[in-house]
Amino acid sequence: MKILFVSPEFYPFIGGAENLVLSFCKGLKKAGNEIVVFTSTKKAESFEGIKVYSFPALFKYSNTPINFWGSLLNKVIEKEKPEIIFGSLATPLMVDSAARTAYKKSIPFFLLYHNDYVKQGFTKILLDFYQSLILKKTFALTTKIIATSDYYSKKSSVLKPFLNKTVSVSPFLDLSEFNPKNLKPKDNSKMILFIGALNKGQNYKGLDYLIKSVSILKEKFPLIQLTVIGTGNNLSYFKNLSKELNLKKNIFFAGTVSQEKLLSFYSECSALVLPSVNNSEGFGLVLLEAMAFSKPVIGSKAGGIPAVIQHNFNGLLVEPKNEKKLAEAIQFIFENKNKAKEFGLNGLKKVKELSPEKSIYSLKKLFEEALNETKK
């Protein structure tokens, strides 16, 4: 089966949506399928037998790449002749063009839905226009919508009218890539970890509330350190906030790090914290990565996070936009080592249950059913 993935960004671009697409590509390739990728990422390269077509955007609005995607896609489809087209709705427009092109060519189209967009101001006006006039049509042309969890698909106001064609396929990890075997965790670590893009359009990650929680904890735990992995156009805001709260020595902005360094941070931390504030957080793949290292995780009761964190089982859930509750959760992890270890071990069990084989089998079955329908 030849599958064309349409993804606004792709490896080596790093992000939760892009990592999920990459894992699906690798898994389906390993299962014997031919994979082709269409993306706007400038330096995207073919690798591991996956062919990549890269068409850089003419310009970007917010995080959305803009180009004449329909005509570009048409050329690639004519050349590659895919049997299935799978679009990743990380940002609008590219996959909307893919849905329409696939429909014209009678190719089954699947849409990977990551999360709702929660915006304000003028961007909200544009978003409302997009969802009512463009995305609604895209959903209608889609064979199946792939959500990351049943929990999130039922919570999403955008997916609600289309639940009859929505199917959940869980993200997963290749545990061989998250192997802590040669890394030594620090027993008395007071380091907590945050991983995410630091762009203005992704302020929903809630890093400002986490920084404020460190300020609350600093007096009781003078050696507390928050390590922030990621970069973006709002980095200066977070650095200035840290300075205002006199946390220069307690917060380390690591920027973009290598895979080896990332694994080292996972091994050294006491917990990973994902304090997202709304439905823009569809899943939180970094939670699984931390759990693969048997680390407890702390998240807010927002978006799809409760589908990953089971409160008092593999981590702690707190109310969003509440630095005091975040501080209490972090303090609990610091002061209850046995419970923190139990959370970590339970988390590892959960990661192992989300097997690549199960998710890839589900995707293949959906694709095969769609192809059989087109042959009737």
In tens, the pLDDT along 16-71 reads: 899 999 999 999 999 999 999 999 998 777 878 899 999 999 998 878 999 999 99
Same domain, 131 and 232: no
- Per-residue pLDDT at 374: 83
Quote the pLDDT of residue 14. Answer: 80
Q: Are residues 234 and 300 in the same domain?
A: yes
Q: Give the 3-state secondary structure of the chain.
A: CEEEEEECCCCCCCCHHHHHHHHHHHHHHHCCCEEEEEECCCCCCCECCEEEEECCCCEEECCEEECCHHHHHHHHHHHHCCCEEEEEECCCCHHHHHHHHHHHCCCCEEEEECCCCCCCHHHHHHHHHHHHHHHHHHHHHCCEEEECCHHHHHHCCCCHHHHHHEEECCCCCCHHHCCCCCCCCCCCCCEEEEECCCCHHHHHHCHHHHHHHHHHHCCCCCCCEEEEEECCCCHHHHHHHHHHCCCCCCEEEEECCCHHHHHHHHHHCCEEEECCCCCCCCCCHHHHHHHHCCCCEEEECCCCHHHCCCECCCEEEECCCCHHHHHHHHHHHHHCHHHHHHHHHHHHHHHHHCCHHHHHHHHHHHHHHHHHHHHC
State CA 225 to chain mean position distance: 24
pLDDT at 182: 61
CA dist 141 → 88, 147, 218 (Å): 15, 16, 53
Name 40's bridge partners: none
Asked if 333 contacts 296 with a C-beta cutoff of 8 angstroms, the reply is yes
Is there a contact between 244 and 211 (Cβ–Cβ < 8 Å)? no
* Same-domain status, 160 and 184: no
Whether 284 contacts 275, CB under 8 Å: no
| Residue 327 phi, psi dihedral angles, 5° rounding | -60, -40
- Are residues 215 and 119 part of one domain? no
87 and 6 fall within a common domain: yes
345 and 365 co-located in one domain: no
332, exposed or middle or buried, with CB in 10 Å at 0-12, 13-18, 19+?
A: middle
Which residues sit opposite 226 in a β-bridge? 192, 251
The per-residue pLDDT for 202 is 86
Looking at the structure of the chain, the number of domains it has is 2
120 and 183, same domain (yes or no): no
Q: Considering the entire predicted model, what is its pTM?
A: 0.92
Same structural domain, 157 and 262: no
CATH of the domain at 165: 3.40.50.2000
Q: Are residues 133 and 183 in the same domain?
A: no
Host domain of residue 243 = 176-353
The total of other beta-carbon atoms located within 10 Å of residue 228's CB is 23
Tokens of 110: 């699947």
- Give the phi and the psi of residue 306 in degrees, each rounded to 5: -65, -10
Q: Measuring CA to CA, which residue among 310, 283, 96 is closest to residue 205?
A: 283
What digits encode the pLDDT tens for the residues 222-262?
Answer: 999 999 999 999 999 999 999 999 999 999 999 999 988 99
Q: How far apart are CA 351 and CA 327, in angstroms?
A: 26
Please report the pLDDT score of residue 35 as a whole number: 98
Calculate what percentage of the chain has a pLDDT beyond 90.
83
The answer to whether residues 362 and 252 belong to one domain is no
Q: Render pLDDT for 4-18 as a digit per residue (tens, 0 to 9).
A: 999 999 988 888 899
Task: Please give the pLDDT value at position 87.
Answer: 98
pLDDT value of residue 338: 96
pLDDT at 29: 96
Judgement on whether residues 27 and 147 belong to the same structural domain of the protein:
yes
Q: pLDDT confidence of 347, banded at 50, 70, 90?
A: very high
Query: Quick one: how far is CA 206 from the chain centroid?
Result: 15
Task: Specify the amino acid at residue 66.
Answer: I
Per-residue model confidence as pLDDT tens digits over 90-146: 999 999 999 999 999 999 999 999 999 876 677 778 888 899 999 999 999 999 999
Q: Are residues 106 and 181 in the same domain?
A: no
Residue-wise pLDDT for 81-99, tens only, equals: 999 999 999 999 999 999 9
**Pick from 209, 251, 255: nearest CA to 232:** 255
- Tell me: the pLDDT tens digits for 257-297? 998 899 999 999 999 999 999 999 999 999 999 999 999 99
